[in-house]
Structure 1
């Protein structure tokens, strides 16, 4: 902004020679500070871009060449530290991924104008970051709501990236197939360093879409939300992350702990307790035995074993099996050394009309619905919570900073004496819920087999708890 003001007002009566001199005299101080006392991560990208701006637009300063050299070296190294090899920014928030991307692009623009060349790695990483947001985007065009962030639209970002890097496949995704070229891969995608798994039925506006979080905690802006699952279909969000609410002020004091906790996500609470903080960074990509992308189905599995103030041992393994264009099956395997109370939380977008039908939770919207159907013979207690403030915050949703409303949280509770497995059928439907029958055929400590009959079709699902090679779908 300041270079535009300075050069735009040169020769104007509104910028006197004395003021010009004061501005010019202050710039080396700003440069010195940003050169020697900059922060890290996203703050670094902004502060180093400011240093490069002074060097590029005011090359008369003796130190400008050194400032630009330092800025390039520092920014390239920061990009290597901030962005995983699969192109995902390490905070693992799609919102702040975009912030980092725009700052990296701003720096590139400054260097281009100064005729300073950046390494090919830098340009390739920007392209990879665009690829990630194009593959994660919901059919509605909205981004992931994960860790801290807002559920804004990524559609224009993706179209911008598609034009810059000549990717008509990204354009196809962003426009729901109205323009561009259909991707040769997908429609589901997995990013193994980030641990972000998106399942889709296709790229149309009514496509099924889900996001399963298998990754680390994140380098900043973290939530205790590993194994969270979000689900959308028919242009609607059904199962959602609570959002970020606010960082400061009354809203933050009231809702911030909820936003960051497992209680604000679609997770399992153990004895009323959520997850502890996890590892900030991934040291290696997730191994192939934890996921599978097949023509007819997707499989992903991960686990977590650190819960707040929990005695003894506990492990929550969650496996998501998506039968393309049909339904999801979620398997929650609890391994424990003692009796536990289990609470399974499912948070609904507030636009949905959510109802109980015995132990089934389903929406009753005019168009576009989802049902959560427990599979098996376990006796589960079902409770709806909406807009609760005491004894604990529960049933609230924040799509954007400082904006929030009450939403329905359906909580299934039951007590276990040892290892136990919960199975959920998530059935989307355009209108009323169709007739469906799901049975557990067999269960071992390594896998579970289900039979699902939906209208005139029937499938057997072999769902290992942690072995993608054993994941199978048999159609009858």
Structure 2
């Protein structure tokens, strides 16, 4: 019976050469790799002289012929294309000097020599293990390679030669029974996958032409890449339980597929390539929900999975192997691109749901438009509305019922009003405690924020940003929501979704626990009505489950330190972002509410912080609170008006029959705050 390559790798693990330990001398590691390299290669590509050298035991001559083969090998069009793309010349120059910035933390290495075992955050708390891990992704090699490709500056080649040799000889692979996935390790599996997917093969392709990069370095590089690929097949996500459930497997197998395609001279290359394709495709099928959203429910990791799978497609096309891809490969990617477009904010960025940072929608839609040239909506997003047509549909709003995201937007224009309402499950691996969270945009400006959780530094701010208290949700007796399940939905999430030309409506409940003990002492129901195109009404009904009175505190997060009351609207506040738009927040029932705000608070609990990742750093913001004390039941109704900065404010009137009238932007709208599903009447 045929056995898959992964099974054979696992069965043969005890027969593999034992990897070095931290105590190994660099010379021993070098000799080990060079001694093993001929055993890993097919003899045929290197010609009869190579075979003869092996037969007579002349290792030095055999290796010289291998190096010569790689020096003379025709240019790889795929990798050359990567080298010709835009790059950061300053980052390349800094890397040559041994200066890097990782997870927003810069560091200049003494004597300009990068130590890939060093963590710059270890002595500057909070420690962030991602600093060392991501240093070992070598993204700056992409810039160095692109810079050398254009300028042929041999100082760049010398710096690269020193860096890659230092890594290979001083950062040994883990032992055969060690997966390397731990703090302080340069061999975590996703780093190995990322290295093989671009930085290492791109650098090899470019610097193999430099006289400053000796044959031995090239030989060590190909041997190390092979070792990294084998490490991934043995210790990546593939042999683990729940192996298909996260983005890691996409990075790992994309890297293996790239290595096996670029270096077919290795005996295991063809089997590695086929197995990597099978694994990454199976993972894609399992991770994409029926509405197209990836199961971690983060635009960041959705994009990671999309990009790594499209990398496989482009490499397969380069080598004429598109026929090896399964028939559902492209349809799955098309569905993933549709979901990304459905979530797009008016500035064509993505809302920061779960662990995330600010991503441009075109990061997915540009490659999607190339893969699917018939999709004019993909082209529209990829070109920033310059070409193509906006997505079709009865309205511009969308509901993704498996991911659990309600997207309310006035239109597809650049100045649209937009609200994202999270009614779904937690998501896998990168979840936040944020059910019923909202974040609101007007045009490209986020007026009520979700910061995406900040850096992975395990600091108090990190945990706060991922908690319910760091979102636009509700606290009960000062405790934020806390749930462990569900990670994904077993059926479409029911949200009472309505969308027409006059209004959008959705609603959902939070019935799980609050606080670390997961006390289920209240049920929170949130309804959102969008009176198009001008304002939103958010109604929050809280009911005690234990028969006791509680304090209910409604939270709104704003990235500004400037808010001021609005005299003509009791309890209302308006922001001062100093930009094009502000947000006016109006409680319809201010009687008995305590309205307060804090910025940069550390005690008695964190509040009023923006914890950014990659594009933003941690800084004070404002948490606006509306608190109803000692109530068994309470209903908040809050109007949210995106306003032109300095523009006219709305007139808000509570009518005797319980309805509310809003006069704003030349329109008069009437609705019942107690029956939001009935929508609005306008005149």
TM-score (norm 2): 0.63
Q: Do the aligned partners of residues 233 and 56 (structure 1) sit closer, same or farther apart at CA in structure 2, a change above 3 Å counting?
A: same
* Residue aligning to 2:632: 418
Q: Using the alignment, how far apart are the partners of 1:355 and 1:319 within structure 2?
A: 26
Q: Per the alignment, in what secondary structure is the counterpart of residue 215 of structure 1?
A: coil
Query: Is 2:574 aligned against 1:362?
Result: yes
Higher helix share: 2
Q: Per the alignment, in what secondary structure is the counterpart of residue 317 of structure 1?
A: strand
Query: Is 2:456 aligned against 1:247?
Result: yes
Q: How many residues align?
A: 462
Question: What displacement does 1:136 show?
Answer: 1.6
* Residue aligning to 2:476: 270
Q: Per the alignment, in what secondary structure is the counterpart of residue 411 of structure 1?
A: strand
Deviates more, 1:70-79 or 1:51-60: 51-60
Query: Is 2:579 aligned against 1:372?
Result: no
Q: Using the alignment, how far apart are the partners of 2:537 and 2:478 within structure 1?
A: 24
Q: 1:256 is matched with which residue: 459, 462, 482?
A: 462
Question: What displacement does 1:257 show?
Answer: 1.4
* Residue aligning to 1:32: 230
Q: After superposition, give the CA deviation of every residue in 1:289-337 in whole Å (9 maximum; x if it has no partner).
A: 5211212111111111221236553111111110111210101011213
Question: What displacement does 1:190 show?
Answer: 1.3
* Residue aligning to 2:419: 210
Q: Per the alignment, in what secondary structure is the counterpart of residue 194 of structure 1?
A: coil
Q: Using the alignment, how far apart are the partners of 2:656 and 2:269 within structure 1?
A: 71
1:23-422 alignment to 2 at 5 Å? 23-39=221-237, 40=243, 41-116=246-321, 117-155=324-362, 157-166=364-373, 167-173=375-381, 177-185=385-393, 186-248=395-457, 252-277=458-483, 278-287=485-494, 290-305=496-511, 306-308=513-515, 309=517, 311=519, 313-336=521-544, 337-350=547-560, 353-357=562-566, 358-364=570-576, 367-376=580-589, 378-401=591-614, 403-422=617-636
Q: Per the alignment, in what secondary structure is the counterpart of residue 169 of structure 1?
A: helix
Q: Is the 8 A contact 2:307 2:364 kept in 1?
A: no
Q: Which structure carries more relative contact order (alpha carbon 8 Å, separation 6+)? A: 1
Q: Using the alignment, how far apart are the partners of 2:655 and 2:543 within structure 1?
A: 19
Q: Is the 8 A contact 1:373 1:424 kept in 2?
A: yes
* 5+ long unaligned stretches in structure 2: 1-198, 238-242
Q: After superposition, give the CA deviation of every residue in 1:60-98 in whole Å (9 maximum; x if it has no partner).
A: 333222212211111111112222121111111112221
Q: Is the 8 A contact 1:176 1:205 kept in 2?
A: no
* Residue aligning to 1:445: none
Question: What displacement does 1:221 show?
Answer: 1.4
Q: Using the alignment, how far apart are the partners of 1:207 and 1:314 within structure 2?
A: 35
Q: Is the 8 A contact 2:628 2:634 kept in 1?
A: no
Deviates more, 1:204-213 or 1:174-183: 174-183
* Residue aligning to 2:654: 439
**C-alpha RMSD of matched pairs (Å):** 2.6
Q: Do the aligned partners of residues 212 and 6 (structure 1) sit closer, same or farther apart at CA in structure 2, a change above 3 Å counting?
A: same
Q: Using the alignment, how far apart are the partners of 2:325 and 2:520 within structure 1?
A: 53
Q: Using the alignment, how far apart are the partners of 2:600 and 2:280 within structure 1?
A: 44
Q: Is the 8 A contact 1:386 1:407 kept in 2?
A: yes
Q: Using the alignment, how far apart are the partners of 2:216 and 2:384 within structure 1?
A: 56
Q: Per the alignment, in what secondary structure is the counterpart of residue 514 of structure 2?
A: coil
Question: What displacement does 1:213 show?
Answer: 0.8
Higher strand share: 1
Q: After superposition, give the CA deviation of every residue in 1:125-161 in whole Å (9 maximum; x if it has no partner).
A: 2222222222222222322112111123334543443
Question: What displacement does 1:219 show?
Answer: 0.3
TM-score (norm 1): 0.89
Q: Using the alignment, how far apart are the partners of 2:258 and 2:297 within structure 1?
A: 28
Q: Is the 8 A contact 1:460 1:473 kept in 2?
A: yes
